[in-house]
Every structure is written in structure tokens, then in C-alpha cells.
Amino acid sequence: MPRSERSSLLLAGLLATAGVAHFASPEQFDATIPRALPGTPRAWTYASGAVELALAAGIAVPRTRRTAALAAAAFFVGVFPANVQMALDWRDRPAPQKAAALGRLPLQIPLVLWARSVAKNNGEGQS
């Protein structure tokens, strides 16, 4: 299997796993939803999980991979405020939890770059 295909499927797997987790254990995600957003945290949690599952499916299919990977890059940028909210909310938690919340912030950068790389390596016309 070519490296670009493996990378694409790994990204799809990561997104699928995260999407399933949003439905299997929504409480942990509800707490990260910025309070300024309209609606309920649970609605945002489920919407985010559904988007992650859709992105995973799109990345898994070579014909839609480029578009889905670009959308995933935008999604990773879009959920950054939830990660910031989590870091703020968890600043009084024990050190390991606080470190985990803060550690998530710089991880968005490689996720965005990974998704962009998948898009670049799976340009239009590839199958």
C-alpha cells in the first residue's frame, strides 16, 4: 500500500474513532463546547461527531478524498476554540489533566498539516 494511501486511511480512522467517541461518551465532549455558542452542548457534541464520521467516510473514498481532507483541515481549525475552552476549564484540575488539556492545543497544528498533506497527495483525478 502506498504511503499516501496509508496516511489517508489512518486519518480517516482517527476521525472515525473520534466521531464514534462523540456518540459513545458525549459527556466528556459536552464540557469542551464554548459557552458562547448557541444551542446545547450536546447538540454541538453530536454535530461534531457526525461531521467527523462524514469526513472519515469522505477521506476513505479516493474519489472524494481531496475535498474531504481539505474540509477536515478546516474542521481541525474550527474545533480549536473547544480545545482552548477545555484548557481554560481544566486549569484547576490535577496536573496530569491540566497537562493533557494544554497539550491538545499544539496538536491541532500537525492535524491541520496532515489533512492538507492528504489533500495534496490525493489531488483531483487520482483514484
Instruction: Report residue 60 as a C-alpha cell.
Output: 476513505
More confident residue, 83 or 54: 54
Sequential DSSP letters for 47-78: HHHHHHHHHHHHHHSTTTHHHHHHHHHHHHHH
The closest alpha carbon to 64, from 72, 33, 99, belongs to 72
What integer pLDDT is reported at residue 122 of this predicted model? 82
What integer pLDDT is reported at residue 125 of this predicted model? 46
| Mean pLDDT on 65-92 | 92
Cβ–Cβ under 8 Å, residues 83 and 108: yes
pTM: 0.86
Mean per-residue pLDDT over the chain, rounded? 91
List all residues 6 or more positions away from 19 whose beta carbon is below 8 Å from its beta carbon: 49, 50, 51, 52, 53, 55, 56
Q: What is the rounded CA–CA span in Å between residue 101 and residue 84?
A: 8
